[in-house]
Amino acid sequence: MNTVKIGWIGLGKIGIPMSQQLIRAGYPLSVYNRSKDKEEGFKTQGIGTAASPALLLNDTDLVFVMVSDDKAISDIFNGEEGLLAAKTSGKVIINMSTVSPAISKEMALACKAQGNHYLDAPVSGSVKQAEDAMLVIMVGGEIEPFEKAKPILEKMGKLVMLVGDTGAGNAAKLAINTLLGIVAQGLAETVTLAQQNGIEAEALITLISNSALGSPFIKIKGDAIINNNYQAAFALKHIAKDLRLAKDLGLATPLGETAYQTYQAAEAAFGEEDIIAVMKQVGKGENQ
């Protein structure tokens, strides 16, 4: 059994299967979630829970954080019983959330002042990849805590790469998600054009999947379009948020700008549905 004691904060759709990989790997794990009902499944496994982020950090060697946005990160770190309230040092805090490089730099400085280490380590992949430990994990931060965390990160992903200093992982993830938004919109527009000319979505997806353009993403999201299944694996509201963060980093290219406009327009009506619900926005002919 592994002896590194791990804390996990954030039991959302992807946080749960990611944390389960660490349990399977034999790590002693404790969890904290703001919505306490999500802790119940872990309690039935005999997994410990913490009353606050501060207490979780006090009782573990390394803490992962997987939450939705910059505000959630600020709450987890800066709250009255947040991570920065813990009276401990020498720990590693790994933020796997898709957030801004700016908040990672802010929290890294605060953790350093506390005597702890901070890494930003967002992931590329969704629920299926988390369940199969096939995520791509991009990391920003110092080499020493990265080397300590890498064997643990490798239990969750097929590739773990240090890409630069603090915030670099976040910047890489926002660049990748810009491409994700563009590809999803491109697929939606392609299917729409085909349908307008009497070609069924199923036929078009079969053609694309057997061409040089075929990919797992095209297959999965193509099937979703065919089956009219827009249940969120990766909610459209999250790509809208990520493109806002990318724009803050300087996104101003033609396709990036178009994707930004499309997803911002789609968020109010389709934000809780999957990213490929951009199909509905494209079908309206309204990208602005």
Render pLDDT for 164-207 as a digit per residue (tens, 0 to 9): 999 999 999 999 999 999 999 999 999 999 999 999 999 999 99
Render pLDDT for 158-167 as a digit per residue (tens, 0 to 9): 999 999 999 9
* Residue extent(s) of CATH 3.40.50.720 domains in the chain: 6-165
* Residue extent(s) of CATH 1.10.1040.10 domains in the chain: 171-284
Please list the residues that pair with 161 across neighbouring strands: 138
Q: Are 138 and 173 in contact (CB under 8 A)?
A: yes
Cα 71 to chain centroid distance, Å, stands at 15
Question: What is 171-284's CATH number, 3.40.190.10, 1.10.3720.10, 1.10.1040.10, 1.20.1530.20?
Answer: 1.10.1040.10
Active-site residues: which are they? 173
Render pLDDT for 262-286 as a digit per residue (tens, 0 to 9): 999 999 999 999 999 999 999 886 4
Report which of 281, 260, 282 is spatially closest to residue 269, judged by C-alpha positions.
Answer: 281
Q: Which CATH architecture has domain 6-165?
A: 3-Layer(aba) Sandwich (3.40)
> Which segments of the chain have a pLDDT < 50?
286-288
In degrees, rounded to 5, the angle at the alpha carbon of residue 56 between the alpha carbons of residues 79 and 59 is 140
In this predicted structure, what is the pLDDT of residue 24? 96
Would you tell me how many other CB atoms lie within 10 Å of the CB of residue 238? 18
Spatial distance between the Cα atoms of 270 and 156, rounded to a whole number of angstroms: 30
